[in-house]
Amino acid sequence: MLLGRVTAPGSVPVGRDGAVFLDRDGVINRRRSGHVTCWSDFSFMPGALRALRLLAAAGAHVVVVTNQSAVGRGLLTAEGLAAIHARMARVAARAGGEIAAVYACPHTPEAGCGCRKPGIGLLSRAAGDRGIDLRGSVLIGDSPSDVEAARAAGCRPIAVADALPLPVEIPCAPDLLHAVALLANPGGVMGPERERRRADRAGGGVWVRERGPA
């Protein structure tokens, strides 16, 4: 396998009803040797808040899709995970960003669920709930499971990593901020239609779904 290619800025399009899906650990926040089980374990990656602000300014529909097996391992409750995600969204909002929703798989790999990436359960549920066109969407992640999930669901993957083995056709960037620069029209649509979609999303704040299909 070769490293994914470094792609020219503005060359990865987002479709009319597409979303910008983000993995969490290693993309929005720093990875730890263990699990993030409380807010004090959570540390934003350099440039992540700025990236979220740029996405919001462009009108992007940002949805986080994340594997969080700490719940299934008994290290964290579903309510505790929801609290971490709600605080993450609040901090992002104070920085000018907007996370429209968070979908998290709480299961361990051994559970054999359909929601844990590289399965497409989280993406499919988000698409059904929020009227997202997966084929017009992008998923930015830092692991092979993110790339596999994106491709299986019909999304365009962008890999965020320093040395992640990837097929050569996968666009890559060193971090979320640089990945955002690869997007062409991240809001999907321009003008009044984009503003209508933003207004529709603004009413409910962040919508957190912590349970995927069993």
Say how many C-beta atoms besides its own lie within 10 A of residue 122's C-beta: 27
- Which of 179, 153, 151, 155 shows the shortest CA–CA distance to 167? 151
Q: One of 25, 142, 146, 175 is an active-site residue; which one?
A: 25
Residue 107 is which amino acid? H
Q: Catalytic pick from 23, 142, 146, 175?
A: 23
Beta bridge partners of 173: 160
Tokens at 211, concatenated? 């349970």
25 included as an active-site residue: yes
For 196, phi then psi, to 5°, come to -65, -45
Active site residue 142: no
Q: At what angle do helices 48-57 and 78-94 cross, to 10 degrees?
A: 70
Kindly state the helix (H) or strand (E) to which residue 110 belongs, with its residue range. Answer: none
Residue positions annotated with a catalytic role: 23, 25
